[in-house]
Amino acid sequence: MREVILHLPDATYERLAEAAAAVHKPLEQWLIDLLAAATRASAYSDESHDMLAAAMDVLGFERLDPEKASRLSALLKSRKERPLTSDEAAELQTLMDTANALELSSLQRLAVALGR
């Protein structure tokens, strides 16, 4: 077993202690449970994403190439943090249009394949 020492502002410590008390757990156990749940959720999310990607591949869904998908993610994240420049906004729109067109095309092919 390893020990972790946290240095927290008093107000933060008090909020955490209140949250732990609300569920009738010692603060240390509440923090361990919270961290363990976050770790499991992250692993589950990664597995779910991989399964979804594999299913989409099997169904013939087309996606942005990894470089463009990464850039799209970065622009979407930046948009939450700050206003985008006009060039960034135009690039974001182009990438979103491309991703939407690929998705629509894939869904249309799937509908035809299913006879709908």
* Radius of gyration for the chain, computed over Cα atoms and rounded to the nearest angstrom: 22
Q: Which residues of the chain have pLDDT under 50?
A: none
Shared domain for 7 and 50, answered yes or no, is: yes
Shared domain for 116 and 74, answered yes or no, is: yes
Query: What is the number of domains present in the chain?
Result: 2
Shared domain for 69 and 43, answered yes or no, is: no
Shared domain for 65 and 54, answered yes or no, is: no
Q: Which domain holds residue 50?
A: 1-58
Q: Give tens-digit pLDDT for 82-93.
A: 999 999 999 999
Shared domain for 51 and 75, answered yes or no, is: no
Interatomic CA distance for residues 43 and 50, integer angstroms = 11
pLDDT of residue 87: 96
In degrees, rounded to 5, the angle at the alpha carbon of residue 44 between the alpha carbons of residues 42 and 46 is: 70
